Each structure stands twice: as C-alpha cells, then as structure tokens.
C-alpha cells in the first residue's frame, strides 16, 4: 500500500519535473526583424536557459493572429513597433498587465501604458522621432521647423507624407490633438491636406526619395529611415542625403513627437514568468543597446545612452527636445483622429 502510494507520488514528481523543463521556453511574436536582434535573443537564452521560439509578422498581422488564436494562442510575449498599435492590443484585451518593479523603475512613465490595479499592460523599449526632411535648395529651414508650419499656406504643393491612417501618422496626429486641442488639430490636418504635393502613397523612405526626385520639397519620416539612408553606401542614397536637410520639429515649443517600439505579455501566456523575465531583460542596459541600436533608435531605459554616429549627425551632435506627453494618451486618441481624417479627406 505504502509502496504503491510512493510509486504514484514518484510518477507525479516525474510529470511535474518534465513540465518544469518544458517551461524553459518563450514564444515570441515579433514585428521587429533586425539582424542585431538575433544576438539579443541569444544572450537572453545564454543568461537564463530559456529558449525563444519566434514568429515574425507586422504589427497588424500579429494583432490579427492573436485575435484569431484566442485562448489557444501559444504567444507569451508580443513586440510591436508603434504606440497606437500597442494601445489597440491593450484595448482589445490581447495583453495581460505586468507587475514588475524592475520595469517600472527602468522605463519612464510616458513610455509605458497607464498602470491599473493589475499592473502595466505594455512597455516601450526604444524611441523614434517623427522628423521633417526638406530640400535644402528650395525650402528655408525656418519654414519647416515646426509641425504647425506643415499646414502653412507658404508650403502649398510641397509636402509628401504616407497615408494619414498609418499608425505612425495616427500617433503623430494623436500627439497634436494633445498639444493643440481637437479643433486646432483638425484645422491643421485640413491645412496639411491642402499642402500635399501628391496623394499619400508608399512608406516613409518613399517620401524622402520624393524630395530627391523633385516631386516633393518637404517630407515627414521616422528618424531611423533617415539614419538608414545616412549610413547607406549606395551613391544614389548619398546624393539624396546631401540634398536634404533634417529638422527635429518644435525645439522651441513642446518638442519633437516620438513614438516607441515596445512589448507586452500575451493575455493567455503559458510561460508568464519567462515572459516577464524577458521584458525585464529588454530594459537592461546591455539589451537596450542591441534593441535601440539595431534599428538606429534611442533606448528608453533611464540612464542608458547609445552611441550611434548617424543619430548623432542627424540630431546635430546629441540631444534634442522631445515631447513629454504620455504615449498612452496619444494611443487613446487614434479613433478620434481617424474620424478627423475622414472629415478633412486625408487619405
Ligand atoms: Fe517602420
């Protein structure tokens, strides 16, 4: 009898040991695909013994997949590249809040979701600025050194920008709603539409190249696309970047709009402890350098600096003034902004 009971106990023990062994994995859904991220993941596995299984897709694809998989989703951690999308994942109930002193201490409040009693739904791990690029021959720098001036009549027919509904623009416009108020922000959007050189099409790099081809004189782009062109050895890119100037807008007012790439723990994560460990690792100084530098971005964690020559050249040798509003508020404005875009005919 005793022997039998012991036997059963040892079977149970064996089962729970193998379950623990199985827990040493992390299923990651990532919208980031940079070669430096491979080293980032390898270092995490080396330090913790936790193996990473990765699924790559873009932000929209990951959110759609999580919804379709529902409770059966194997995802533990989600990495996305825009505050509006992170906010959407939160609102759609795809994440679970995290309580972590390490994350709360490392990541400034404006770069993470608003914390509730359960914890914080998502964290930003790198920042990118939404900058203005202009033709140095045809446009005066002082005519494009604020976002407000993009709507000024003197810039009529000069501006190229990607679709207004793209998350990068939804976040920029959501920030403008915070800075200017709804009425002024909508009037501003109307002014930008009136100043477009062409209907919105393509990505940020296409807008910069539009300045090179002469189709546009002013373009709006995320900073890392500019940095990528600045680091390019392609002669065409070099010629393009000699022709254009880069402005970090609103340096003498509320600062340049910045967005984030960030992460969250999936709602139905089975490896929850590993997931939190991974997010805490991303906030560490070592990981911050890989995470930010791999895509020419700035780290979010307090006290971490990155040395990146393209970023330094672009921002005039160092720091620039960025806006201080919480990105959670920016993300929350996206539905309102989409309605404004429809009203002013911003495609
Ligand atoms: Fe991008």
263 has pLDDT over 70: yes
For the segment 28-63, what is each residue's pLDDT rounded down to a tens digit?
999 998 888 899 999 999 999 999 999 999 999 999
**How many angstroms is it from 2 CA to the middle of ligand 1?**
64
For the segment 16-26, what is each residue's pLDDT rounded down to a tens digit?
444 455 559 99
Please, how many CA atoms are within 13 Å of residue 207, restricted to the half-sphere of its CB? 27
For the chain, the domains span 6-126+259-309, 129-256+322-344
For the segment 188-246, what is each residue's pLDDT rounded down to a tens digit?
999 999 999 999 999 999 999 999 999 999 999 999 999 999 999 999 999 999 999 99
Which pLDDT band, with edges at 50, 70 and 90, does 317 fall under?
confident
In this prediction the pTM is 0.91
The domain 6-126+259-309: what is its CATH number? 3.40.190.10
At which residue do the structure tokens 């070592």 appear?
286
Mean pLDDT computed over every residue of the chain: 92
Q: Which residues contact 152 (CB under 8 A, 6 or more apart)?
A: 143, 191, 195
**N residues, the chain:** 347
The domain 129-256+322-344: what is its CATH number? 3.40.190.10
Q: Which residues contact 12 (CB under 8 A, 6 or more apart)?
A: none
**How many angstroms is it from 126 CA to the middle of ligand 1?**
13
15 has pLDDT over 90: no
**How many angstroms is it from 249 CA to the middle of ligand 1?**
19
For the segment 63-81, what is each residue's pLDDT rounded down to a tens digit?
999 999 999 999 999 999 9
% of the chain residues with pLDDT over 70: 93
**How many angstroms is it from 336 CA to the middle of ligand 1?**
23
7 has pLDDT over 50: no
**How many angstroms is it from 232 CA to the middle of ligand 1?**
17
**How many angstroms is it from 12 CA to the middle of ligand 1?**
49
**How many angstroms is it from 103 CA to the middle of ligand 1?**
25
Within 10 Å of residue 233's Cβ, how many Cβ atoms? 6
pLDDT at residue 169 in the model: 97
């Amino acid at each position: 009898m005793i022997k039998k009971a012991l036997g059963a106990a040892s079977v149970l023990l064996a089962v729970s040991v193998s379950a623990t062994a199985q827990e040493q994995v992390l299923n990651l859904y990532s919208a980031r695909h940079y070669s430096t991220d491979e080293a980032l993941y390898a270092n995490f596995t080396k330090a913790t013994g936790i193996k990473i299984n990765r699924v790559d897709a873009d932000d929209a694809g990951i959110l759609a997949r999580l919804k379709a998989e529902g409770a059966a989703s194997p995802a533990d951690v989600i990495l996305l590249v825009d505050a509006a999308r992170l906010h959407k994942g939160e609102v759609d109930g795809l994440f679970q809040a995290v309580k972590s002193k390490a994350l709360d201490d490392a990541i400034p409040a404006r770069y993470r979701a608003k914390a509730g009693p359960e914890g914080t739904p998502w964290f930003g791990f790198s920042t990118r600025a939404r900058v203005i690029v202009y033709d140095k021959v045809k446009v005066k720098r002082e005519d494009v050194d604020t976002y407000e001036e993009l709507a000024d009549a003197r810039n009529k027919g000069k501006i190229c920008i990607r679709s207004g509904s793209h998350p990068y623009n939804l976040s920029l416009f959501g920030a403008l709603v915070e800075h200017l108020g709804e009425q002024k922000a909508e009037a501003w959007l109307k002014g930008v539409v009136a100043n477009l050189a062409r209907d919105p099409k393509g990505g940020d790099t296409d807008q910069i190249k539009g300045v090179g081809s002469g189709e546009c004189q002013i373009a709006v782009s995320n900073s890392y696309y500019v940095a990528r062109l600045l680091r390019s050895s392609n002669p065409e890119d070099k010629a393009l970047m000699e022709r254009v100037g880069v402005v970090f807008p609103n340096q003498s007012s509320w600062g340049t709009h910045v967005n984030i790439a960030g992460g969250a723990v999936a709602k139905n994560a089975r490896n929850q402890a590993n997931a939190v460990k991974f997010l805490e690792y991303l906030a560490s100084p070592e990981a911050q350098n890989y995470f930010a530098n791999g895509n020419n971005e700035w780290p979010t964690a307090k006290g971490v600096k990155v040395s990146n020559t393209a970023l330094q050249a672009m921002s005039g040798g160092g720091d620039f003034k960025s806006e201080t509003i919480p990105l959670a508020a920016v993300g929350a404005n996206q539905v309102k902004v989409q309605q404004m875009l429809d009203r002013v005919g911003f495609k």
